[in-house]
Every structure is written in structure tokens, then in C-alpha cells.
Amino acid sequence: MTLKMAVPNKGRLNERAVELLTKSGLDLGESWGRKLYVAVKNKDIEIIFVRAQDIPVFVHSGAVDIGITGQDQIANADVDVEEIKKLEFGHCRLSVAVPEASGIKSVSDIPDGSRVATSFGTVAKKFFDSHGKKVDIIPVTGAAEIMPYMGVSDFIVDLVSSGSTLKTNRLIEIQTILESQAVIIANRDSLSRNQNDISNIVNAIGSVMNAEQKKYLMAVIPVEKIEEIQQIFPGLAGPTIMNIAGHPDKVAIHVVIGKNEIYDAVNDIKKLGGEGVLTLNIDGLVD
């Protein structure tokens, strides 16, 4: 059976989502960027490109089996889907922000009857209801941050990552409602029917994400330094050590290490008389 997967067609989540799929070995062909859907050439998978905000509903209804979208969109769609993997990108938070000049410091200071502009009406309503606040939701589809300036609303609920947009618009964040990142979600029925196919694709993406954090390091070291090298690289299964033809006094070591350990590793190897240090990217890593 063809597995159907929904992926954001544009916007902030599109590029990295497609990169993860192609790095996982799915062949989307040449012209996927212009298409609404693509039949993956080397697997029985169909990719449907749609807006990130529509993906939770498509997954919930079973129109697609799995999808990639933001946790903020899942919360706002208010549908029951299974989150099966965090993808460690698209980090942002949904926050309440008020004009600097309003003097409001916390949600409890917000007067009943205030107007809040947001494209996250469902989440915002739940949030203010739970705080016993009666606010009027003004639905907008974008640019919520200029609504207080235009007099359309008194404050906003919007996504923030660096906070620079808020600053430019003289708004202050007073409360985080939720934290979000991109995730893979699955339709619950489909997950029980197609567990194998779904875990294959999730594992392939996981292996790409793992590999991106690692480097493959090779070096030549004096044979008498093997023990010291083993102490430096106790990782995974320790270094692989290989003889070098014609050089009984030296060995080659191969090891997988964290990207941020490379700097110290290279210096340690040099101090032990190592040479020919080579570091390579890894395409995939299955634990």
C-alpha cells in the first residue's frame, strides 16, 4: 500500500523538511518544487505538498498517513493525532505580547473585553478561558504584530523566535503559551495498520539527524600510543585500529565522534604524534 505523507509546501518548514527526506534516500525527482504531489521514485511513498497549518487536519482525517508540521499548528487545529518524532528544527514559541506603552506586565493585568489579534484563535481562546479572561479574538492570517499599531487590536498572540519582530513593533512578550518545533505526526489508525512502513521512514530520518551531529575521523598514530588514543575516544565501540602496510610502527585509527568534539580530538591526536588527520561527513547513522 502506498504511504501518503504531507509536507509543508512553502514557508519556514519546507526547506528543511524536504532536505531530511532527500537525505534519507527518498528520490523526489527533479521538479518536485513545482508539484502538489510527488510519487517517490524508489519507494512506495507519495508526498503531498500542502500548507503547514492544514497538515494536522489531513493527518487526522486519514487523507494522509503521516505529515511534517509544527507543534503550534497541531495545537491550533485541536485534532487528535500521534506525534511520533521531534525533528529539532522550526523552533519557536507562541506568546502573548502587548504594546510597550500599555503598562501591562502579566496576563492578569489584561482587562476583560480587550481585543487580541492572532492566527492562533483556538489556542488563544483556550488559554484565556483557562485564565478566566474574557477577550475578543480578532482572527488574522498574518502580520498580527502591526494590529495594535493600526488600532485593530489591543494586544496579540503570535509566534516568536528571536523576538526582533516584536521589538521593531514596540511589543513586549509577557507570557509563553506553548513551545513548538517541527514534528512528524501520524494518523492513529494508519499507525497501527502500517507500523512497519512508518517506522522505516521515521528511522531513516532519525539516522540522518544523528549523522548530522557526528563526524568520521581517521588518523595515523604511533603504535605505542594506542592505549592513550583509546582513552580519548571511549565512544561508540572505541576506535577501529588498522595496520598500515610497510609501517609496523604506525596504525590507522577510524572513529565516529560528535561534531563539537572534533576541535579537541584533532589537537589531542597531534599531541600524541598523530598525522594525516582526515574528517568526513556521515550520511546516515543507525544506532
Please give the residue ranges that form the binding site for ligand AMP (CB under 6 A): 8, 10-13, 52, 70, 72-73, 90, 92, 159, 161, 180
- For the bound state, the minimum distance from the C-beta of residue 52 to ligand AMP, rounded and expressed in Å, comes to 4
Shortest Cβ 239–ligand AMP spacing (Å): 39
Q: Which is nearer to ligand AMP, 11 or 139 (CB)?
A: 11
| Distance of closest approach, residue 162 Cβ to ligand AMP, in angstroms | 7
At its nearest, how many Å lie between ligand AMP and the CB of residue 92?
A: 3
Q: Which is nearer to ligand AMP, 95 or 194 (CB)?
A: 95
Contact 195, 258 (CB under 8 A): no
Cell readout for 118 is 492572532
* Least distance (Å) between residue 140 CB and ligand AMP: 13
For ligand AMP, the closer CB: 16 or 131: 16
- Cell 492570517 sits at which residue? 141
Question: How many whole angstroms separate alpha carbon 56 and alpha carbon 73?
Answer: 7
Cα→Cα distances 151→33, 51, 114, Å: 39, 29, 12
Nearest-approach distance from CB 185 to ligand AMP, in angstroms: 12
In this complex, which beta carbon is closest to ligand AMP, that of residue 50 or of residue 219? 50
Residue with cell 540522518: 208
DSSP 184-222: EEE-HHHHHHSHHHHHHHHHHHHHHHHHHTEEEEEEEEE
Neighbours of 246 (CB within 10 A): 6
Q: Give residue 151's region: left, alpha or beta (phi > 0; psi -120 to 50).
A: left
Query: How far, rounded to the nearest angstrom, does the alpha carbon of residue 236 sit from its chain's CA centroid?
Result: 25
Q: Which three cell numbers stand for residue 156?
A: 496579540
- Give least dist CB 105 to ligand AMP, A: 24
Which residues does residue 253 pair with via DSSP β-bridges, in sequence order? Answer: 219, 241
C-alpha cell recorded at residue 124:
488563544
Report the residue number, 43 or 93, with the smaller CB distance to ligand AMP. Answer: 93
Question: 89 with 16: CB under 8 angstroms?
Answer: yes
Q: Pick the closer one to ligand AMP by CB: 70 or 206.
A: 70
* Residue closer to ligand AMP (CB basis): 73 or 118: 73
